[in-house]
Structure 1
Amino acid sequence: MGFLLLVGCGAGAYAYFKLTGNIKSDDLSANGKNGAGKEKPDAFGRTPINILVIGSDARADAADKKLGGAADSSGARADVEMVLHISADRSNATVMSIPRDLVASWSGCHDKGHASMGPQTDQKINAALNGGPGCSVDAVHQLTGITIDHFMMVDFDGVVKMSNAVGGVPICVDNNVYDPYSHLKLKKGDHTLKGDAALEFLRTRHGFGDSSDSRGRTVAQHIYLNSLVGTLKSHGTLSSPTKLWKLANAATSALTVDNSLDSPSKLIGLANDLNKVPQNRITYATLQTYDTTVNGVSETLISKPSAPALFKTIIDDQSLTTASGGKTKASAAPTVPPSTIAVTVQNGTETGGRAGAIAQELIDKGFSQQTTSGNGASAATTLLSYPAGEQAQAQSVAKALGLPSKAVKQGTGTGIVLLIGNDWTTGTVFPGGKAGSTPADTKQALDGANSKLSKCAHVSTFDDVIGLNAQGRPTSSDHTYGSVSPTRAYALSSNVKDSAP
């Protein structure tokens, strides 16, 4: 891209002008310049890069309406949300998908050019996009605590253009699959997805894994993204002026970015940072969630302590791969992962609820869910006692709460006990202390995150494809076949053309 933009008088100037004109940009945050957080440099002055990648389902023009269909055509939702974390030393990256139906709360959004949105409580996080991409940035930052440095948003038509620009993305499915909702239809084996087929694959919700947004869909998207990265690196796209021009023209036309990326030269700089990360050192993960029913309404919530641990690895710039590309086994420090440390918290003050508050703070920081709270003997000073052989565990607890060393002593009991004294009657950090940043347990961070990336997308075996008529075509009225699996749907739809050969 640098060659295309900077070499040659007329051609270089034309290319730069053309690509600059393509770029659409918007405010990073809908709540002011600090709404997305602020990065802290490492000891060498380097900072990581966190990009929120947004796939919008807005039907803003004729092309998007044709591709997305007329249903749910009002407003905009984030069909896809991924936090792409690039380490400060550019040696590794993490891609964390956020399920679109996750329930979250965020402050009001007042981005210019978008509808104002008041404070939102317990709403699906994909709805934040109605307040503009800056509102999605704020919602994700408030949910995760992760600083967001940039966003990149693509719509339906953008996905089609990008897949065509790279000559298609190689994909494998392990069985025949047909999802009449997204219109994806593929036979078992290898395919190269271009145009509409690529969009259909990315939008499929009833075709892969457990047929859910939070697992099956995001894992399939990770397979696509990983293949796209491999295509860019191995097919000479980044070294061919012709291919690169086609890709650059498509990308700048397809993307909306934050204002700090509003020129080709800035995008080139970011592309160079991305290109430094080896493909085998990219970890793909889905934010851990669970489904529950609240007041008769089904909700998707984050799973603790795994999800906070995943957030923490990104915030602390911890790699989730080894130098050879394998998954990390556990954090180098502390020696004992917090998730294995259970604490008995006792309230020795006259202030009610102290033990419960501190116990919850420890659980939120990634300590064991077996941490308990209750009343204890009245105490003037706080004491953290531990049995023989568990000094490291006690020090980890003390560091998390800002306890001084004099408050940590070996006891005669069988477990770690924190007795809260009258010198600590408010707050979750010991007065005068500073809560330390204990590295996240990387094993816990990937627990339930579907981080194992398979070669082929696993086709769902669940019977949740409905709406097929006698000709095997999708319909809203004649449900001739009832509920069938995606593979059975493929067999019943011989009159429907496959998405790709």
Structure 2
Amino acid sequence: MAITLSVLILGTAGAGYLYYQHLNNNLRGGSRAGGESGVKKAAPDALGNTPLNILLLGSDDRSKSANVALGGGKNERDRKPLADVQMLLHVSADRQHASIVSIPRDTVVPIPACTDTTDGKVYAATNNRPINETLSRGGPGCTLTTWEKLTGVYIDHWMMVDFAGVVSMADEVGGVPVCVKTGVYDKSTAQQHGGSGLKLPEGTTDVKGEQALQWLRTRHAFGSDQNRAKAQHMYLNGMMKKLQEQNAWTDTGRLTGLAETATTALQVSDEIKSVSKLFNLSMQLKNVKLDRLTTTTVPTDPYPGNPDAWLSLRSSAADKMFAMVREDVAFDKNGGPKKPKGDGGTSDKPKTEPEAPDAFSVTVVNGTSGDGQPAAPGRASALATTLQGKGFTRAEATREGEGSKDTAVLYPKSAGDQAKANAESVAKALGLPGSAVHGDAKAVTITLVVGSDWRTGSVYKKPQINDGDLPEGADDKTECMDVYSIYKWDGKS
């Protein structure tokens, strides 16, 4: 993150115009989203701030000779790339804490319909393919849309790097410290062909060049895809520490090399495809300290349809982690006393008074299928009846609606403050927090979307989630990696 976001300060601090344009021209872009997820951006807190979510992708693209030389597979030049590394970086609305959530590449998830913006090809939705295939079904935007649909989290941007980009960035940093408890050689064996070729002695080593790529690609020697994600997180933390030791944010010479390498290595979503926009993004991260950056991997189980090769998310753990991201709850317990977040305006007197409850229409949608379960029958009708009993006599249920993980009250953005005040009165009548109220450009009337977080009852009860309350096995920060027995290396052979 230091390379991709922070070091680009050079582009706005003292660089000549031509060099600034040169850095901009280095950057490659692409569409932010590949389809419709229905997920809305989080409502601002009491200070008007919203969380920042960035999807970080590692591609196995082999269309370039440099990538073939590093990753092999010269017969795969024409194959569409897979997103073998996927991490969601969440930065809190107050910019004080951050988390990285990884999903292993072979995890089967629902993939929505996507359109490839490069050739216009449309890919139908599917429920039985692993998440790394999203990149070949519409590009990075499809991966982003899949994550939004899966997590209920609005994702602002994506960033992607390939094999050659990883190598050039590691070289520019001068190596990244990683650690193994014993020597490791990730070689091909009789039981498991392939391997990254990683060969390291016991203890800490600064890896760079092809060795850095081998570390990030090693799976068998570390025992699983989950442990590979743990090793990748160790690498990210090591890179941050190394850059801090180098004073990379203040040394102009370091910034020049880092900015040149990073802009060449990266592909980013179009709305941040400029050095100045990446710089503005980086300034939002400057207050996050390393002890408040939590790296996690969503716990998984063998996928029933293909248990030897694929995984499925452990739903109880995944749902809790995704809810923490949506609610902007810290993954760590290192923060000070919590400050009131505010409720988005329902407790304070709104600037515009709401109209009488019977003066406007409310459409109620059953979105309780948002967690992958069948929709709870009759929820729209039940909540419409509840609203009618509270004076909202024009509340009506509809059969139309997509699943939603969180209950929300949407109002037409074009209708302004009056519609917002009316929507807040609906939320207050049902016990919903102010953060559930969102303006929506597509909304025609005020719409209550009953999410999977409210499958029963007529009064909403917000689930309590505390800082650091992660599911067992999710927090994967480690000082040194274990090595699977047959890949242990004595440092000689």
TM-score of the aligned structures, taking structure 2 as reference length = 0.70
**Identity in percent:** 36
- The CA distance in 2 between the partners of 1:3 and 1:72, in whole Å, is 37
- The CA distance in 2 between the partners of 1:253 and 1:441, in whole Å, is 41
1:255-293 alpha-carbon deviations (Å, 9 max, x no partner): 110011111001111122222200110011101111143
The correspondence for 2:184, drawn from 174, 177, 180, is 177
> Is it true that 1:30 corresponds to 2:41 in the alignment?
no
Considering Cα pairs closer than 8 Å and 6+ residues apart, tell me whether 1 or 2 has the greater RCO.
2
SS at match of 1:79: strand
Q: Is the 8 A contact 1:31 1:138 kept in 2?
A: yes
> Is it true that 1:460 corresponds to 2:463 in the alignment?
no
Aligned length: 383
> Is it true that 1:56 corresponds to 2:59 in the alignment?
yes
The correspondence for 2:240, drawn from 196, 208, 229, is 229
Match of residue 161 from structure 1: 168
Shift of 1:304: 2.6
- The CA distance in 1 between the partners of 2:367 and 2:38, in whole Å, is 28
SS at match of 1:294: coil
What aligned pairs does 1:490-501 form with structure 2 within 5 A after superposition?
A: 490-491=489-490, 494=493
What residue ranges of structure 2 are gaps of 5+ in the alignment? 1-6, 188-194, 342-365, 374-384, 387-405, 409-426, 432-451
> Is it true that 1:486 corresponds to 2:487 in the alignment?
yes
- The CA distance in 2 between the partners of 1:405 and 1:46, in whole Å, is 25
Q: Is the 8 A contact 2:97 2:292 kept in 1?
A: yes
Match of residue 122 from structure 1: 128
Shift of 1:4: 3.5
What aligned pairs does 1:223-372 form with structure 2 within 5 A after superposition?
A: 223-294=234-305, 299-323=310-334
- The CA distance in 2 between the partners of 1:358 and 1:235, in whole Å, is 50
Match of residue 110 from structure 2: 105
- The CA distance in 2 between the partners of 1:315 and 1:405, in whole Å, is 20
Shift of 1:432: 9.4
- The CA distance in 2 between the partners of 1:318 and 1:324, in whole Å, is 11
Match of residue 47 from structure 1: 50
The correspondence for 2:224, drawn from 201, 205, 212, is 212
Superposed CA RMSD: 3.6
Match of residue 448 from structure 2: none
> Is it true that 1:440 corresponds to 2:452 in the alignment?
no
- The CA distance in 2 between the partners of 1:432 and 1:304, in whole Å, is 23
Deviates most, 157-166 or 292-301 = 292-301
Match of residue 147 from structure 2: 140
Spell out structure 1 runs of 4+ moving beyond 6 A.
357-364, 399-402
TM-score of the aligned structures, taking structure 1 as reference length = 0.69
Q: Is the 8 A contact 1:166 1:237 kept in 2?
A: no
Greater Cα radius of gyration, structure 1 or 2: 1
The correspondence for 1:77, drawn from 71, 82, 95, is 82
What residue ranges of structure 1 are gaps of 5+ in the alignment? 333-356, 365-380, 383-398, 407-426, 462-484, 495-501
> Is it true that 1:19 corresponds to 2:30 in the alignment?
no
Shift of 1:39: 2.9
Amino acid at match of 1:112: T
SS at match of 2:304: strand
Deviates most, 272-281 or 218-227 = 272-281
- The CA distance in 2 between the partners of 1:260 and 1:72, in whole Å, is 31
C-alpha distance 4-107 of structure 1, shift in aligned 2 (>3 A): closer
